[in-house]
Chains A and B, each alone.
Chain A
């Protein structure tokens, strides 16, 4: 082999190496992404019923039922949404209704949080005066009104806790004595 041939071969090898096809790969393995943090649910205030924050009704047994609706959205489409309704929670902290929303795999949940109040039933809204009706919506388990952190598996195999959230809306209901003309 001549010197020129050797030089050409060396150049070819250098070019081949320089092209990078033989560069060593990184030797560390990409780790799993940590689990996504929980995002809070949201009450769609533009679709609440009754629409206004202030509601006036009569309390006669013949009056139509008063329905409260609170549509809910949660970007975490797999979250279970629990809701509680309270009437005058400053006086009576126990909820009057607890339920959970259906899940259609979409952020905007298919059915709203709902409370139907009948004036033919003994209840706090039969008393004339001002009352507060509050809906509390949570994407976590509730202990009283407090959403509980939910355990999540971390990439290193450990257990962490993800914050869950509760959001609320309240109506002021003015109840007047009398039937519905």
Chain B
């Protein structure tokens, strides 16, 4: 009987018993030897699509930068030519001259070709000429120059386009004649400064820094410098000092500089309270290893985040916080560990000055199922599947911090538990088949569309600088823009690899 079962298992396993490998097509000799619409790759003719974009990240003495290169119609042995240097030369001026003192430069933006790919760059420089080299990847940026001299307000330049190569931008700092300096006082309660001096900064309604971020002194006194007039909607932002894990960020409208004659009272000078309880799963059993956060308005009106506390094996936790500002202003979030049947919980929590003891029940984490097959329809067994959240499921729905891994079973099926979100779900490379990624918006449980592995083709490329220098150890990531179900476009990462010492890179990609 046992033998019959074994034979049956072998018969069902069929051609996948030893892991099916893709059939290698006949080698080609140039694109002209391939059928119409296909190109020649090292592993045969195929079509990868004409919409691929390479993000090439390299290291240079000036810093690490990425350059985005549309590949057009890809074929074997692409030459990817990178600029000799990838820089944004930032000139900081004050009056007629370059600003000669120490300053921080910070660029934050996104790739212009790869929607959803964020980019940052920062440096501190003190070049007397005011010209600072900043290693910046291609993209569109908001550039901020913040002098370390806090009497010189920061300056911002928006929509700075950075192309491949050498770029320039000029930022103008306010001259001393246009700067107003005010003195103020920030207190925890009337007459009582914060135990740990907080940070204070003037911020515009759109989040732009109007002054340097400085730390108040022990008595709560501070001085801030800004332009001649405060724009409508400007606020004084008070952030908890280093080591103050309970305090929140308080904001005070300061449309008028006259407001600084009165102290800014945060109102958080009250004892901390304890929130403790038990986290339960949908089955009523305790959830171990979950992260608990409390977030929202605390007494005085500051926005605070405390946590994480970890739940014990018995599902219990304890967390210190300041009491709520008003009923319903604090939200408790519980994030069960990956794989748990318990899902992400966000729920209002009333935390009065007496503290709170309670138990909370997580919703069921949706079970998402799918199947993976070989091109011939046979089940792909033992294939890894990984889901990473890349966006919220919809407006107002928090994005979970982590996804999940799974493996296909003997029938090619997999099942993973995923909180609602937009995911990049990847069927991982198997044998000679390339990884198969896609975006999926998970709202609840259910079946994903069946996935079929496809034959891949290896995109080979040679990386050189403008001057012909070989570029080794470059990280090359290949993306395809994808239109999501909500009409937005997002870059889907298809594959990646690091170039070798000859500047060559090969990335197995799915054919179309």
Contact = CB atoms under 8 A, between A and B. Distances in A.
Interface in A21-59: 44, 46-52, 54-58
A57 B108 CA distance: 8
Interface in A57-79: 57-58, 60, 64-67, 69, 71, 73
B122 A92 contact: no
A97 interface: yes
Interface in B66-95: 66
A52 B63 contact: yes
Given A92-B310, A181-B142, A50 B120 contact: yes
A42 to B, nearest CB: 11
B64 A57 contact: no
Contacts of B203: 178
A141 interface: no
B399 A124 contact: no
Contacts of A120: 392, 398-399
Contacts, number: 146
B462 interface: no
A35 B295 CA distance: 54
Nearest to B435: A102
Interface residues of B, number: 71
Contacts of A114: 388
A99 B242 CA distance: 32
Interface string B202-234: 011011100001000000000000000000000
Interface stretch (A12-20, A127-135, A145-153, A159-167): A127-135
B252 to A, nearest CB: 13
Interface string B297-314: 000000101111010000
Nearest to A178: B207
Interface string B454-482: 00000000000000000001110000000
Nearest to B244: A129
A64 B249 CA distance: 20
A116 interface: yes
B399 A71 contact: no
Interface stretch (B11-19, B36-44, B164-172, B495-503): B495-503
Contact of A58 (B207, B388, B399, B475): B207
B118 interface: yes
Given A64-B110, A110-B496, A116 B63 contact: no
Contact of B429 (A56, A67, A102, A178): A102
Interface residues of A, number: 53
A114 B117 CA distance: 13
A108 B499 CA distance: 8
Interface stretch (B348-356, B363-371, B400-408): B400-408
B420 interface: no
A46 to B, nearest CB: 3
Query: Looking at chain A's contact residues, is the secondary structure mostly helix, strand, loop, or mixed?
Result: loop
Given A44-B498, A51-B64, A177 B249 contact: yes
A104 interface: yes
Interface in B94-151: 104, 106, 108, 110, 118, 120-123, 135, 142
Given A47-B57, A124-B308, A178-B207, A64 B118 contact: yes
Contacts of A179: 206-207
B343 interface: no
A55 B124 CA distance: 12
Contacts of B58: 47
Given A52-B122, A124-B307, A128-B240, 7 more contacts: A54-B122, A66-B118, A99-B405, A102-B429, A109-B498, A128-B199, A176-B213
Query: Which 3 A-B pairs have CB atoms at the shortest separation, nearest pair first?
Result: A51-B64, A64-B118, A46-B59
Interface of B: 57-59, 63-66, 104, 106, 108, 110, 118, 120-123, 135, 142, 156, 158, 199, 201, 203-204, 206-208, 213, 237, 239-240, 242, 245, 249, 289, 291, 293, 295, 303, 305-308, 310, 333, 335, 346, 386, 388-392, 398-402, 405, 428-429, 435, 473-475, 495-498, 500, 507
